Amino acid sequence: MKIYISADIEGITGIVDWNETEMGKDDYIPFAEQMIQEVKAACEGAVNAGAEEIWIKDAHHYARNLKINDFPTSVKLIRGWSGHPFCMMQELDESFDAVIMIGYHSGCGSNGNPLAHTLDVSNVQYIKINDEVASEFLINAYASALVGVPVVFVSGDEELCKNVIHLNENIKTLAANKGIGNSVISIHPETTVKLIKDGVELAINQGVHQCNIKLPSSLKIEIGYVQHAKAYRASFYPGAKQLSVNSILYETDNYFDVLRLLQFVL
């Protein structure tokens, strides 16, 4: 069995401030360590469920938060950004049996996490797919569906977990944090580690195919920018058009086109 793990940090237990996410800041160190522990727990749960090969995408900021020596020898770790449109899901293909997402967070426009955003922290007001505000989970879950690999487990904030279950109630989730305004209520980090390990094992053992997600047959993408000049520039991407002063619209029936769009206009 071959498992893919995509790891972010804004949904890691207890995190509440941008300084806790940025390499080089003193506040970052304990949360980077907690990120490692939560990803390790996912690996342990997957191995207990029969995984023989695990690939991890370090998918936060510079993508240099995780170190290969922290993980089992069955792991391959992807660090840095290749520029491929799969982005946070780089190297995912049909050879994998299941996807796990650790440390994910609510998308822009949500109050479920003080650090809620989607892909671009400073320039994007919202990304909508078929009129639904999209989180990084949704964007990456659709990427997984594009290659026929189910997402079986997601950890992060409570609001995100509700969105995951709304998409497919069979996907196992763990809410490590609950966002309230500019604060979070979190469970104990050791509890998170245990629940991730047990949850991943259960998610794989329950049968991964019931977690499959169906891609929409047609896709309408709307992106709202903070600065009107960003929208103007992005409107020249092939197939895109300016919808308003601060937004563009793009339509396609191929989800890879969407991923390619996001790679070039954000």
pLDDT exceeds 90 at position 7: yes
Name the residues annotated as catalytic. 117
Contact 136, 115 (CB under 8 A): no
| pLDDT tens, position by position, 59-76 | 999 999 999 999 999 899
Percent of the chain with pLDDT over 70: 100
Domain boundaries, the chain: 2-118+135-211, 219-265
pLDDT of residue 1: 97
Cβ contact 250:258 at 8 Å: yes
Determine if the pTM surpasses 0.95: yes
Annotated binding site for Zn(2+): 8, 10, 60, 105, 136
Q: Decide if pLDDT at 113 tops 90.
A: yes
- Does 4 score more than 90 pLDDT? yes
pLDDT band (50, 70, 90) for residue 55: very high
pLDDT at 233 over 90: yes
Q: What is the pLDDT of residues 168-197, one digit of tens each?
A: 999 999 999 999 999 999 999 999 999 999
For every residue of 183-241, DSSP letters joined together read EEEE--HHHHHHHHHHHHHHHHHT-GGGG--PPPSSEEEEEEESSHHHHHHHTTSTTEE
- Please give the mean pLDDT across all residues of the chain: 97
pLDDT at 74: 87
In angstroms, the CA 90 to CA 28 distance is 25
In angstroms, the CA 111 to CA 181 distance is: 7
pLDDT of residue 234: 98
Helix ranges (H only) for the chain are 28-48, 136-146, 158-167, 189-205, 228-234, 255-265
Is the distance from CB of 130 to CB of 182 less than 8 angstroms? no
Residue 121: per-residue pLDDT: 92
Tell me which CATH code domain 2-118+135-211 carries: 3.40.50.10780
**What is the maximum alpha-carbon separation in the chain?**
52
